[in-house]
Amino acid sequence: MSELWSKEDEQAILDMIERWVEQDVRPIAQEYDQADKYPHQLVEQMKDLGLFGATIGQDYGGMGLPATIYAKIVLKVASAWMAPSGIFNSHLIQASAIERAGTEEQKSRFLPRMASGELRGGIALTEPNAGTDLQAIRGTAVRDGEDYILNGTKTWITNSLNGNSLAVLMKTDAKAVPAHKGTSMFIVETKDADGNFKPGIKVSKLKKLGYRSIDTCEVVFEDFRVPAANLIGEVEGKGFIQALGGLELGRINVAARGAGIAKGALDLAVRYAQERETFGKAICNHQAIQLKLGEMAVQVEAARLLIEQAAAKFDAGERCDMEAGMAKYAGSEAGVFCANEAMRIFGGYSYSVEYDIERYYRDAMLMCIGEGTNEMQRIIIAKQLIERYKI
């Protein structure tokens, strides 16, 4: 539940984030990305800024930010470096699943620790054979006394190496019809008090095109025991709904990351176009470059407005799957478009790792894939349209 925030409060938070981004995030981005080095110091700063509790309710130690403000924060961070936004974004998707669907005992047990950053993590849905089609997952959770025993392989799991907590989707009834009614979500604390992985879990980092520095891993569960008290909502069969229920906020969040990449690429491109000269004038004076900058600026603003609209509906407690889908589609495609156009504006220097723009180009595509691919977004939008036009 979001709390009431005045315009002054909002501006104070955004100013604080802007200072942090410019002083601590942007300056290290290219070096850390190139070395694929985890930014531990940013994690400590995120704790101090309260980002791990950004959308968690104040009753549980979080800031209880509305989606409208949260999206602006995400956009700001991603405009400098998209990757670190994943450290708190994926974490908050897990927290929001617990806050929406957990029991009161689970909320009190986990959310304050998540808000402080003591527990950090993400959500483990995808398997090697099942991403979009989550009903096809094969990982199992079998009840054994006071525990469930987890077996299966999750892949592409963000924050699973450096974090210590995951919401894991497993099959509790392989015969259920429809299949999604046989899925359940578990809160899994993956590490012991010394920070070592518990027995029965193996995590291996994947090498990626972009979104570097942030751990995305394969996670294998082999007879891993999780207390039955960690079954979210304490009722089996609700996992799929719980996973999808977080996607409206998740899509607004990915939209903001995409729009952030778009805005960041536009800023870099405008500055470069003002400095670089050909044929005796700055390239920003060539119409071919102006056409690109104009189109990029329109895409950034269109995405920003769609995000604002979806977030406002979300905050008002209204259904917004269509609006969040539109924002996600527009934001992520704006990211790809603007990064691509900025690459052209940078000419040969776009290919140099000395310039940040190549990182935006590598990072942008991910936003078209996560939180429901953009193919699926358009299908969801169309289905909603058809429903709303029904007579």
Ligand X SMILES: Cc1cc2nc3c(=O)[nH]c(=O)nc-3n(C[C@H](O)[C@H](O)[C@H](O)COP(=O)(O)OP(=O)(O)OC[C@H]3O[C@@H](n4cnc5c(N)ncnc54)[C@H](O)[C@@H]3O)c2cc1C
Residues annotated as part of the active site: 371
DSSP class of residue 192 equals: -
Among 64, 121, 122, 325, binds ligand X (CB under 6 A): 122
* Radius of gyration, CA atoms only, the chain: 21
Nearer to ligand X, 113 or 362 (CB): 362
Among 68, 90, 94, 96, binds ligand X (CB under 6 A): 90
Among 211, 224, 240, 272, binds ligand X (CB under 6 A): 211
Closest approach, Cβ 137 to ligand X, in A, equals: 10
Residue type, 202: K
Q: Give every CB contact of residue 76 below 8 A, 6+ residues apart in sequence.
A: 14, 17, 18, 21, 260
Nearer to ligand X, 25 or 366 (CB): 366
What is the phi/psi pair of residue 157, to 5°? Answer: -95, 110
Closest approach, Cβ 110 to ligand X, in A, equals: 18
Closest approach, Cβ 16 to ligand X, in A, equals: 27
Q: Is 216 in the site for ligand X (CB under 6 A)?
A: yes
Q: Check if the beta carbon of residue 54 is closer than 8 Å to that of residue 66.
A: no
DSSP class of residue 136 equals: G
Q: Is 254 in the site for ligand X (CB under 6 A)?
A: no
Q: Is 123 in the site for ligand X (CB under 6 A)?
A: yes
Closest approach, Cβ 127 to ligand X, in A, equals: 8
Give the integer Cα–Cα distance in Å for 267 and 274: 11
Closest approach, Cβ 297 to ligand X, in A, equals: 28
Q: Residue 115: how many CA atoms within 13 Å on its side-chain side? A: 21
Neighbour-count burial of 169, counting CB atoms closer than 10 A to its CB (0-12 exposed, 13-18 middle, 19+ buried): buried
- Contact track, ligand X, 357-376, x by CB under 6 A: ---------x--xx--x-xx
Q: Which helix (H) or strand (E) holds 141?
A: strand 140-144
Among 111, 124, 187, 336, binds ligand X (CB under 6 A): 124
Lookup result for tokens 């959308």 = 55
Nearer to ligand X, 213 or 230 (CB): 213
Q: Is 158 in the site for ligand X (CB under 6 A)?
A: yes
The first and second tokens of residue 229, run together, are: 């008290």
Q: Is 157 in the site for ligand X (CB under 6 A)?
A: yes
Closest approach, Cβ 279 to ligand X, in A, equals: 41
The strand ranges marked E within the chain are: 121-124, 140-144, 147-158, 165-171, 183-189, 201-205, 216-227, 277-278, 281-282
Give the integer Cα–Cα distance in Å for 57 and 65: 8
Q: Is 131 in the site for ligand X (CB under 6 A)?
A: yes
User: Which residue(s) pair with 123 in the sheet?
Assistant: 167
Among 11, 23, 132, 352, binds ligand X (CB under 6 A): 132
Q: Is 126 in the site for ligand X (CB under 6 A)?
A: yes
Lookup result for tokens 């950034």 = 300
Closest approach, Cβ 366 to ligand X, in A, equals: 5
Q: Is 139 in the site for ligand X (CB under 6 A)?
A: no
Nearer to ligand X, 235 or 379 (CB): 379
Query: Which range touches ligand X (CB under 6 A), out of 54-62, 153-161, 187-195, 320-328?
Result: 153-161
Neighbour-count burial of 309, counting CB atoms closer than 10 A to its CB (0-12 exposed, 13-18 middle, 19+ buried): middle
- Contact track, ligand X, 266-285, x by CB under 6 A: --------------------
Tell me, by CB under 6 A, how many residues bind ligand X: 22
DSSP class of residue 175 equals: T
Question: What is the CA 191 to chain-centroid distance, rounded?
Answer: 22
List interacting residues with ligand X (CB under 6 A): 90, 122-126, 131-133, 156-158, 208, 211, 216, 366, 369-370, 373, 375-376, 379
